[in-house]
């Protein structure tokens, strides 16, 4: 099996959604811990609720599929070395080079309470700010850990029986796998930093590797993408209505059968839709975004926070202008920021994994 263009398109489309999501996130009204403190427009939170159950789940499935294609050309040792260079190193270096800025700005708001802050040594404050500003880099940590789980399974399954078994999955079994997805959401969740939903994300990553890397499976999804997409969108509307004004990212919401069914249907629908309609030759825009999608993901959040902080602190504009300025500033400055980082050899290696 060979990697196909639609996977790259899913990846950069999802990264664009993540970028817009974090602009809205900075002004959310549902209780999510923000990096800045400014009022938002509550109706815009509904768009965040629509994508939250499935957009990172989709990235983990695609990452699992890509891992299967990569393993065809690499040994386990080479695969691990490649993932450490391209995923783990940037996610760790980004914490100490950029995340501290996000943590420092977050400390200016009412969410950040640190008793005895004035007496703490600067190095201690720096480390606290670094850990407080991790932001979307959690995805890289979770993904690298998933790769370690995969390598362990491959070592135990020397004849690759699990992968061959995944190729036998048919339509009804794909639907029934939704129950397993719901089950995975109940286990291995970290108690304090709830974004690390280990059971859920590792299971989806492994499904990408063992099941969705088979052309027969994704061909089935492509044939049925329209009813899946309609069903998923209707479920998304219902999810938004049910959780309007509520913290849709709370663990009690993320563990429910409906949330996980919605996430699963959208993952199936989007895999099928992109394979059916977005698998042709790449144009210049698609190539540009494919080459930069990881860099845009790794760099966008610190940039957004650095734009948002002076906007809300000094300009005192109407609320809708805050959204517009942060989004437009990110669209303009993120490519410039990426090009600057990519041209400094040490930063290019540390922050972009090049």
* pLDDT (0 to 100) of residue 171: 84
* pLDDT (0 to 100) of residue 38: 86
d(CA 117, CA 154): 47
Helical axes 284-310 vs 5-25, angle rounded to 10°: 10
177: Cβ contacts below 8 Å, ≥ 6 apart: 169, 207, 211, 264
pLDDT (mean) for 24-44: 89
DSSP per-residue letters across 72-98: TTS-HHHHHHHHIIIIIHHHHHHIIII
pLDDT digits (tens, 9 = 90+) for 67-123: 999 998 889 999 999 999 999 999 999 999 999 999 888 888 766 666 666 677 889
pLDDT digits (tens, 9 = 90+) for 216-258: 999 999 999 999 999 999 999 999 999 999 999 999 999 999 9
3 state SS of 344: coil
Q: Closest Cα partner for 21 from 151, 148, 139, 141? A: 139
269: Cβ contacts below 8 Å, ≥ 6 apart: 221, 225, 228, 229, 231, 232
pLDDT digits (tens, 9 = 90+) for 290-308: 999 999 999 999 999 999 9
Instruction: State the number of CA atoms in the 13 A half-sphere of 264 facing the CB.
Output: 25
Residue 281 has pLDDT above 90, yes or no: no
* pLDDT (0 to 100) of residue 31: 84
* pLDDT (0 to 100) of residue 110: 66
Other C-beta atoms within 10 Å of 7: how many? 24
d(CA 339, CA 83): 23
* pLDDT (0 to 100) of residue 234: 98
Average pLDDT score over the chain: 92
pLDDT (mean) for 249-272: 96
d(CA 86, CA 109): 33
* pLDDT (0 to 100) of residue 125: 87
pLDDT digits (tens, 9 = 90+) for 138-185: 999 999 999 999 999 999 998 889 999 999 998 889 989 999 999 999
pLDDT digits (tens, 9 = 90+) for 186-208: 998 887 777 789 999 999 999 99
3 state SS of 160: coil
- Please indicate, yes or no, whether the overall pTM of this predicted structure exceeds 0.85: yes
* pLDDT (0 to 100) of residue 251: 93
d(CA 297, CA 137): 8
d(CA 272, CA 250): 29
* pLDDT (0 to 100) of residue 111: 65
pLDDT (mean) for 2-6: 79
Tokens matching residue 4 = 């196909």
3 state SS of 58: helix
d(CA 107, CA 26): 14
**Burial bucket for residue 140 (CB in 10 Å: 0-12, 13-18, 19+):** buried
- The residue among 320 and 281 whose pLDDT is bigger is 320
Q: What sign does the CA torsion over 294, 301, 125, 346 have?
A: positive
* pLDDT (0 to 100) of residue 1: 57
């Amino acid at each position: 099996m060979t990697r196909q263009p639609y996977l790259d398109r899913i990846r950069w489309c999802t990264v664009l959604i993540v970028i817009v999501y974090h602009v809205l996130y900075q002004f959310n009204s549902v209780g999510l811990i923000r990096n800045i403190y400014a009022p938002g427009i509550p109706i815009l939170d509904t768009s965040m609720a629509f994508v939250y159950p499935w957009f990172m789940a989709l990235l983990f499935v695609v990452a699992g599929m890509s891992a299967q294609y990569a393993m065809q050309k690499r040994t386990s040792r080479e695969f691990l070395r490649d993932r450490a260079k391209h995923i783990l190193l940037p996610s760790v270096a980004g914490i100490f080079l950029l995340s501290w800025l996000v943590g420092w700005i977050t400390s200016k708001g009412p969410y950040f309470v640190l008793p005895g802050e004035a007496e703490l040594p600067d190095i201690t404050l720096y480390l606290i700010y670094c850990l407080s500003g991790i932001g979307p880099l959690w995805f890289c940590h979770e993904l690298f850990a998933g790769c370690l789980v995969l390598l362990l399974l491959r070592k135990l399954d020397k004849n690759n029986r699990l992968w061959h078994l995944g190729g036998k999955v048919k339509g009804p079994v794909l639907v029934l796998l939704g129950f397993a997805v719901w089950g995975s959401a109940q286990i291995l969740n970290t108690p304090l930093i709830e974004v690390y939903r280990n059971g859920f994300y590792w299971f989806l990553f492994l499904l990408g590797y063992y099941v969705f890397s088979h052309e027969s499976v994704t061909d089935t999804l492509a044939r049925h993408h329209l009813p899946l997409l309609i069903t998923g969108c209707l479920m998304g509307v219902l999810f938004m209505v049910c959780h309007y004004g509520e913290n849709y990212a709370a663990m009690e919401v993320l563990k429910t059968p409906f949330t996980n069914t919605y996430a699963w249907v959208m993952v199936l629908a989007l895999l099928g839709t992109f394979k059916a309609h977005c698998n042709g030759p790449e144009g210049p825009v698609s190539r540009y975004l494919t080459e930069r999608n990881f860099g845009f993901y790794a760099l966008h959040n610190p940039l957004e926070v650095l734009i948002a902080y002076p906007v809300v602190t000094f300009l005192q504009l109407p609320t809708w202008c805050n959204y517009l300025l942060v989004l437009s500033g990110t669209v303009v400055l993120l490519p410039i920021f990426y090009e600057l980082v990519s041209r400094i050899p040490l930063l290019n290696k540390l922050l972009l994994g090049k």
